[in-house]
Structure 1
Amino acid sequence: MADWLNNTSDAAREYVGESRVDEVECIIADLSGIARGKAMPASKFATQAQFYLPNSIFFQTITGDWGEAAGEEGFTEPDMVLIPDFDTTTASPWSKDLTLQVIHDAYSKSGEPIPFAPRNVLKRVVQLYNDRGWTPIVAPEMEFYLVARNLDPSQEISAMTGRSGRPAAARQAYSITAVDEFGPVIDDIYDFAEAQGFEIDGITQEGGAGQLEINLRHGDPVKLADEIFFFKRLIREAALRYDCFATFMAKPIEGEPGSAMHIHHSIISTETGQNIFSNPDESESPEFMHFIGGLQRYLPAATLVYAPYVNSYRRYVKDHAAPINLEWARDNRTTAIRVPVSGPEARRIENRLPGMDCNPYLGIAASLACGYLGMVEKITPKDEFKGDAYDSEEEIPRGVYAAMDEFAACQPLRDVLGEEFARVYEIVKKAEYDEFLQVISPWEREHLLLNV
């Protein structure tokens, strides 16, 4: 076994066993969460401690174009230094050859973390917590659709065909029979996850046709974001084996619920190891209420991060399993901020606004940032909402441009995430929106061509 493998995870070493690694994929997430990097022979990887990529990978839009975010030096595409985090080493079990993946961190040539690299943004926010003696814990939920292959973007997305030969049906939430329809795909998801050393807390059928949810165990925010980053690829690869696509679009099918990435939050005292959301008498602590207050105040400005595309806002539809407000309540799934049923040691807060289309590093970072500001600024939340929160007023931006305005105007959130990240991110999002405006939709052709 190569010496560098001794620094990797138990799961990676177990996967390799006595075999020889053929290839290593050196990867990093761009702003959209797309894996960028290089694949190289394992023998070459073993001889180098770092490699290089241009910083322009963080200026790319989802279409592959570029935002003008290079700064005063101009678009010269200087190299960044990418250094492997060997703890992230995991298998690519779908590959023909024995292949491992390693997430890398991005630094300048002088050794400073690249401020707009998503993993660095999340690490920055986690460090702010650590500096105050807090250890943030998250538990993300991943919703996605298994859909029929779609080779023509002009055609609507449709549900995949299950093992019964019938298309997946909607409104079958929590149905075990519905989950069984996708049995072979789910079996491969489990097998791939086991090979990669990931622990799945459960898989359930959601309300949409072919919509599934995977829950992950709670833990360190950076580790969980890494797992979601890996899981998106894992799930796509499993689906492709069975003539279907896995999609993480926020709203892939008209009339069906959207796909969320709900994030559960709790915070542990670094000194005592206790959940700071609970007082010694097991009641809710001031920090618990302030975290909620921070979410209520700053989530509108963070919307651009956890709802990054024009499609993201199609998910926020009244009575369609996504919140349209900033209310909070205990055990109420109509509110944006939900307090699940739990004992005092597991007391947590669920942010139900992020979509599954967001970059997991940035979505978790933004949610943590809102709660952090609430605790630091000691923000008092509104009174707990009673009843159906869909009857309350809408309180979130209704589109990308409105979200950009909120993000641009919120200096406290920008300071926590990093001003240089905020500058680059909003330029890239503006470029994406400008690209979208150049596309004429079927709705426009249908209703405007002959009527206006």
Structure 2
Amino acid sequence: MSWMDEIPEAARTYLEVNRLDEVECVIADLPGIARGKAVPAGKWDKQNYFHLPNSIFFQTITGDWGEAAGPEGFLEPDMILKPDYSTATAAPWANDGTLQVIHDAYDQKGRPVPFAPRNVLKRVVDLYAKQGWTPIVAPEMEFYLVGRNIDPAKPIAPMMGRTGRPAAGRQAYSMSAVDDYGPVIDDIYEFAEIQGFEIDGIAQEGGAGQLEINLRHGDPVKLADEVFYFKRLIREAALRHDCFATFMAKPIEGEPGSAMHVHHSVTDTDGRNVFTGPQNGETDAFFHFIGGLQEHLPSAMALMAPYVNSYRRYVPGEAAPVNLEWGRDNRTTGIRIPISSPAARRVENRLPGMDCNPYLCIAASLACGYLGMMNEIRPDKRWRGEASDSEAEVAESLWTALDQFDEATELHKVLGTDFARVYSIVKRAEYTEFLQVISPWEREHLLLNV
């Protein structure tokens, strides 16, 4: 069977009107950056895999390296990267016909590379499958459209709207605000349609130039692939209109941060939602999943808030929750139960930032729920009223979050102990790099005063 028979319909439709010139063979590294190779179409037809060194997973966001190679030393052995043809999708911004294909990483003995983020998520999904469960997720993506910032020393500013004024903040759900950057949104819709992605809706969020895209619920790996693709898609759409799209957790001082809320449900072998009982009531599994989130989310925060900037979002009294309370239709709680029919009953984790790697964030969130269901963890009493009155339970810095992650041996067993080792080493190396940078605040307030 030709590989053309295995790719999605949207990719085949794209190739009917675009002669294939190049295939981008991509894989997500720890930050979620696309790594890989661009292969001419003629060569792509003749190969079933390609190689990259395993050191791409030891790289920090700055391009430096964590000493995470293990006892064998930093030899950079080649991995075997095999295409998942079901992920083939167009790159509609390219000048010539181009497909993107996500690959999975294996070592030279054919074993999944344990610290490849997509493999981490697959590992967690497989643990659910062994219990006869199928996890379902729905991510919500928040991001900013900002002015072109080519000087890192200058603050980030909102993009210029069609009115000639910078995009305004505090205009949540405003349709006129969405219209202000309509051309970018039009390209986002167009690119998504060509790539075969379904958008559940786009709305203006509370920040200046901040938008939210909701994706349809489905398979965790498929949805993580879509978030991975969407980040690139949105960036490319923004560049067409002389602005940047940023997924930083807190890009603009004084504006709300950007989250990636994750909705979860779980079905059994018959496709029934295990959170709902025969009489449409809430089951023990539903409460155990919540209990698992409350118990283990503090240890997983380093994956859901992976950078020093991530923790600028968690300010008591602001939009992002800093608690682990659960409530019904209550956006001040870290764990929210949305209004839904019994068949669609789900649990929303409102803690993750949009700067996360989607594979690792979804894997960590599902891992917490899985441990709750396996260990039958009961949640605290439902929170009523504003949860801002609750005690802050989220780490205040990446370093603290990494300390909590390092101690979470039960979580490591679900995600993979070798992954946990590599992740901690790389993130600590990244934090050390950050400490070498002197900020404008330090120059302003310490230079002449201390």
TM-score > 0.5, shorter chain as reference: yes
**Counterpart of 2:390 in structure 1: which amino acid?**
S
Q: What do the CA deviations read for 1:244-264 (whole angstroms, capped 9, x no partner)?
A: 000000000001000000000
Shift in Å, 1:319: 2.5
Counterpart check, 1:319 vs 2:312: no
Shift in Å, 1:3: 3.1
Shift in Å, 1:317: 1.2
Residues 6-15 or 216-225, more deviating: 6-15
Shift in Å, 1:5: 1.5
SS at match of 1:17: helix
> Which aligned pairs between 1:23-62 and structure 2 lie closer than 5 A?
23-62=22-61
SS at match of 2:82: strand
Match of 2:77 in 1: 78
Q: What do the CA deviations read for 1:399-438 (whole angstroms, capped 9, x no partner)?
A: 0110011001111111100000000000000000000000
> Which aligned pairs between 1:144-155 and structure 2 lie closer than 5 A?
144-155=143-154
* Equivalent of residue 408 in structure 2, options 407, 410, 414: 410
Match of 1:124 in 2: 123
**Counterpart of 2:327 in structure 1: which amino acid?**
A
Shift in Å, 1:450: 1.1
8 Å contact kept, 2:26–2:103: yes
Counterpart check, 1:245 vs 2:276: no
Q: What do the CA deviations read for 1:27-78 (whole angstroms, capped 9, x no partner)?
A: 0000000000000101101100000000000000000000000000111100
8 Å contact kept, 2:139–2:214: yes
8 Å contact kept, 2:263–2:347: yes
Q: What do the CA deviations read for 1:134-158 (whole angstroms, capped 9, x no partner)?
A: 0000000000000000000000000
CA–CA separation in structure 2 for the residues paired with 1:241 and 1:401: 38
> Which aligned pairs between 1:264-343 and structure 2 lie closer than 5 A?
264-270=263-269, 272-343=270-341
Match of 1:428 in 2: 426
Identity percentage over the alignment?
71
Match of 1:184 in 2: 183
CA–CA separation in structure 2 for the residues paired with 1:358 and 1:320: 20
**Counterpart of 1:410 in structure 2: which amino acid?**
A
Q: What do the CA deviations read for 1:148-181 (whole angstroms, capped 9, x no partner)?
A: 0000000000000011111000000000010001
CA–CA separation in structure 2 for the residues paired with 1:166 and 1:285: 51
CA–CA separation in structure 1 for the residues paired with 2:108 and 2:75: 15
**Counterpart of 1:371 in structure 2: which amino acid?**
G
CA–CA separation in structure 2 for the residues paired with 1:320 and 1:169: 18
Match of 2:174 in 1: 175
Counterpart check, 1:198 vs 2:191: no
Name the TM-score, length of structure 1 as normaliser. 0.99
Match of 1:230 in 2: 229
CA–CA separation in structure 2 for the residues paired with 1:3 and 1:125: 31
Name the TM-score, length of structure 2 as normaliser. 0.99
Q: What do the CA deviations read for 1:258-308 (whole angstroms, capped 9, x no partner)?
A: 0000000000112x2110001101110000000000000000000000000
Shift in Å, 1:391: 1.3
Counterpart check, 1:5 vs 2:1: no
Shift in Å, 1:387: 0.7
Shift in Å, 1:18: 5.3
Shift in Å, 1:20: 2.3
Shift in Å, 1:320: 1.9
SS at match of 1:273: coil
**Counterpart of 1:370 in structure 2: which amino acid?**
C
**Counterpart of 2:262 in structure 1: which amino acid?**
I
Counterpart check, 1:65 vs 2:64: yes
**Counterpart of 1:73 in structure 2: which amino acid?**
E
CA–CA separation in structure 1 for the residues paired with 2:97 and 2:160: 32
CA–CA separation in structure 1 for the residues paired with 2:274 and 2:288: 12
8 Å contact kept, 2:316–2:392: no
* Equivalent of residue 365 in structure 1, options 360, 363, 366: 363
CA–CA separation in structure 1 for the residues paired with 2:271 and 2:191: 33
Instruction: Identify if the C-alpha distance between structure 1 residues 314 and 18 changes in structure 2 by more than 3 Å, giving closer, same or farther.
Output: closer
CA–CA separation in structure 2 for the residues paired with 1:3 and 1:408: 45
Runs of 4+ in 1 over 4 A off after TM superposition: none
CA–CA separation in structure 2 for the residues paired with 1:43 and 1:359: 32
SS at match of 1:80: strand
CA–CA separation in structure 1 for the residues paired with 2:390 and 2:227: 32
Match of 2:111 in 1: 112
CA–CA separation in structure 2 for the residues paired with 1:68 and 1:39: 28
Match of 2:343 in 1: 345
Match of 2:95 in 1: 96
SS at match of 2:20: coil
CA–CA separation in structure 1 for the residues paired with 2:136 and 2:286: 14
8 Å contact kept, 2:145–2:159: yes
**Counterpart of 2:241 in structure 1: which amino acid?**
Y
Match of 1:210 in 2: 209
SS at match of 1:225: helix
CA–CA separation in structure 1 for the residues paired with 2:327 and 2:406: 29
Shift in Å, 1:19: 4.1
CA–CA separation in structure 2 for the residues paired with 1:426 and 1:19: 44
Residue segments in structure 2 that go unaligned for 5+ positions in a row: none
Q: What do the CA deviations read for 1:214-258 (whole angstroms, capped 9, x no partner)?
A: 000000000000000000000000000000000000000001000
Residue segments in structure 1 that go unaligned for 5+ positions in a row: none
SS at match of 1:290: helix
Match of 1:259 in 2: 258
* Equivalent of residue 384 in structure 2, options 383, 386, 399: 386
**Counterpart of 2:295 in structure 1: which amino acid?**
R
8 Å contact kept, 2:18–2:96: no
* Equivalent of residue 377 in structure 1, options 371, 375, 384: 375
RMSD value, Cα = 0.8
Shift in Å, 1:99: 0.3
Shift in Å, 1:318: 2.0
**Counterpart of 2:101 in structure 1: which amino acid?**
V
